[in-house]
Structure 1
């Protein structure tokens, strides 16, 4: 389940952190609310825009030179995913799916990839 966190903003503070940790040229934040991937055993209809989730980490995506962080969270009370409290506890296959999606979702045939994952981070940093 993919959405955004209301009243947040991927701004120059996020970009500065990304520059310092990834040692890459990053022009700024993407200017959008922070993106969130909510892990749950339940289907969440598109119209359900407000839910309670617990962040467990995230990763810094560089999208065409801009920071575009992705927060990973667990739906509160979810019976399958509530056991995870840190991104490092997730099965490797789940993280690989996220990485594959975000590394390729803007890719065009025969064009260079404009997205890269600079690093992942813990629950503490995701707050």
Structure 2
């Protein structure tokens, strides 16, 4: 399937939104309506780019907003940016999420002993092509890191675009070290230190900071896909309200939250516009010299 994006509001402002459209220009939910698998038999999954590589704006699927547009995270009334931690510039991969997955905040993972973070599974796409906000890439899974964030399990699944020149050579996590030496080490360091400039401690990585293999990562994806299925079909009806999730969708058969494109709320979504973007903070020009070893 082909997808398009509809962006409204000034980029880098709290009003900015990127909606995902189908081929007919109709808004769909990236959380619920894009299938997890592009080709399940071949192990090809759909991945939604929230944050293009080298950029700093902390964009994310708005899980609580109608039709789940991508927006910039806001804290204390200010849009959020990730600082440049030397030698990194912004995010060092295309960062985003798997559709139709959900890290259940009531489920305690037996390996990490922490509950889920109430979001779709995070994805780090390591191919050479820089994506764009709202892009849907087809990827294959290579492995994962298990970040522990505020005592919650926050999986970071490592994938590569199936069209990348190295895709045929990368089939499991150990292949990344062979063909992209240094990337996993840099990824681990980035995940540990990126919050330090904001006054936060070094992040914890479970499993003794090991990069987990493809088999383990696929197990995580399948489990969180099942959690999403129970959410979207109301098998756990209280969770939608308790965790401020919007489950409106146009494509999930059997979901009591399925709506039509003629739903009145659809007509209230603005058409695309080209408002000038807001200036980014001058602090984004600064290097922060920190280390997980300090």
What band does the TM-score fall into relative to the shorter chain?
Answer: 0.7 to 0.9
Query: How far apart, CA to CA, are the structure 2 residues paired with 1:7 and 1:33?
Result: 7
Q: Which residue of 1 aligns with 2:152?
A: 66
Q: Classify the secondary structure of the residue corresponding to 2:112.
A: helix
The Cα of 1:13 is off from its aligned counterpart by: 4.6
- Say yes or no: does 1:34 pair with 2:121: yes
Q: 1:116 aligns with which of 195, 201, 204?
A: 204
Aligned partner of 2:187 in structure 1 is 98
Q: Which of 95, 99, 104 matches 1:2?
A: 95
CA deviation after TM superposition for structure 1 residue 111, in Å: 4.9
Q: Which has the higher helix share?
A: 1
Aligned residues: 118
Q: What is the CA-CA distance between 1:77 and the residue it aligns to?
A: 2.2
The residue aligned with 1:107 is 196
Give 2:110's aligned residue: 16
Q: Radius of gyration: which is bigger? A: 2
TM-score (norm 1): 0.81
1:3 deviates by 0.3
SS of the counterpart of 2:195? coil
Task: With a CA cutoff of 8 Å and minimum separation of 6, indicate the structure with the bigger relative contact order.
Answer: 1
Gaps spanning 5+ residues in structure 2: where? 1-93, 219-294
Instruction: Measure, in 2, the Cα distance between the counterparts of 1:108 and 1:85.
Output: 35
Alpha-carbon contact 1:15-1:66 (below 8 Å) kept? no
After TM superposition, the score normalised by the length of structure 2 is 0.37
CA distance in 2 between partners of 1:94 and 1:81 (Å) = 15
RMSD: 1.9
Q: 2 CA distance for matches of 1:104 and 1:81? A: 28
